[in-house]
Structure 1
């Protein structure tokens, strides 16, 4: 029938409104990329720019219902609304596999960004895995791994400070000699930096450099110091 379009191997995003159900057919793994701003081309996300009442049966939503619920019959505009606000439909097994994969990704990010406070050594994936389960960390299927990992790190450092601390970030600032002392004093006093190495120009002149480590939370302010306060 003309009102049917059959699609296979799709991820369905569903939105219920005004007592009616609307669905769109997306490519698997693309919906989260769209919502996180990673994917910006809607044609790479949706199999077809069409609003359905039932993707599995291929039933296309009629124009009257679209105008009543969305105030428009523009298919792409409505698809974007459903992509943003709809619920991604997955089977129990698919959800389980997705959550397991997300959890592994979160664990790996935590491993890369945390160390043991006493030894300064990187933690094992097993230790991080067990710690996250101990504090009751819950993985959310509709949030990116990096965002959840940062939340996990914050929770681990707060609840298990004897075992977790953010790894220090090593940075280097290059500046004119006349600004060197000012910048050096600032990063030590305001950002609790530990200076590792510094160099000043010889008789021929040149720039000064200072290499230091500090908490990653200071990065944005330090970047602003260099790019705004001192024009890089």
Structure 2
């Protein structure tokens, strides 16, 4: 037994000498571990590629809100597995994307890849998107009979009633416009797009001509004409359907481009002061 103990002691000394206490196992240089990231994944040519992005920035990039790539991706490295920090090799990148330029590849993955989220994260994300969509609808819709703003509860119930589905990779504003279109079409007795209040400034010589155009072509309701008879510039304040805005903007910037005509948004949504619609309307 003493011989066995002596052998064990010698073996222990050898192991200690082979691995000094100050040494530690190092992570391979080809691995970079990142945490608290949003992963976008794209499969191409039978291989998986991932990039590490900042949370909530991917949708902004896809909608054109964020244009600075450095504000979207955490590191301009292409991975095969972000969680394990395993980088893709240049040969696979060249075969899959036709280039090894990391910036160009990141843009392609951002555009066409799938945003990876857990079930809980997806649920929270969809709930947040739905609330944002509802708020935008509340701000831009009115009850057609009273012109009064609708409640968030009314909008939520109506969206669920028509089977509106939230898209996790689309911005809330874009989805809200789709929701408004669906609500006004399917529940026209309860939903209408709120009108806009605009103001056109112009030389007095053009005042009557523009007023005629507003009433006939734009089907606008002129509320006030200021400055007429003063010999200086005048302005026309009016309400119209939002669908008329682009045409009126072209009127000011193209047709009367050299005449000193300007279009101004006074209120993006005109809300009436009528009685509130009946509950559930």
Bucket of the pairwise TM-score, normalised by the shorter protein: over 0.9
Q: TM-score, normalised by structure 2?
A: 0.80
Q: Which runs of 5+ in 2 are unaligned?
A: 1-27, 262-281
178, 182, 189: which one aligns with 1:162: 189
Give the whole-Å Cα distance in 1 for the aligned partners of 2:227 and 2:30.
75
Shift of 1:14: 0.3
Shift of 1:162: 0.4
Give the whole-Å Cα distance in 2 for the aligned partners of 1:42 and 1:172.
38
122, 137, 143: which one aligns with 2:149: 122
Give the whole-Å Cα distance in 2 for the aligned partners of 1:108 and 1:166.
14
Q: Which runs of 5+ in 1 are unaligned?
A: none
CA RMSD, 1 decimal: 1.0
Question: Which residue number corresponds to residue 109 of structure 1?
Answer: 136
Shift of 1:201: 3.4
Runs of 4+ more than 4 Å apart = none
Deviation string 1:141-187 (CA, Å, 9 cap, x unpaired) is 11110011011101100101100001111111111122111111111
Shift of 1:40: 1.4
Give the whole-Å Cα distance in 1 for the aligned partners of 2:118 and 2:168.
13
Aligned length: 231
Deviation string 1:177-204 (CA, Å, 9 cap, x unpaired) is 221111111111111111111124345x
Q: Which has the larger radius of gyration?
A: 2
Question: Which residue number corresponds to residue 169 of structure 2?
Answer: 142
Q: TM-score, normalised by structure 1?
A: 0.97
Give the whole-Å Cα distance in 2 for the aligned partners of 1:119 and 1:39.
39
13, 22, 41: which one aligns with 2:40: 13
Give the whole-Å Cα distance in 1 for the aligned partners of 2:199 and 2:45.
57
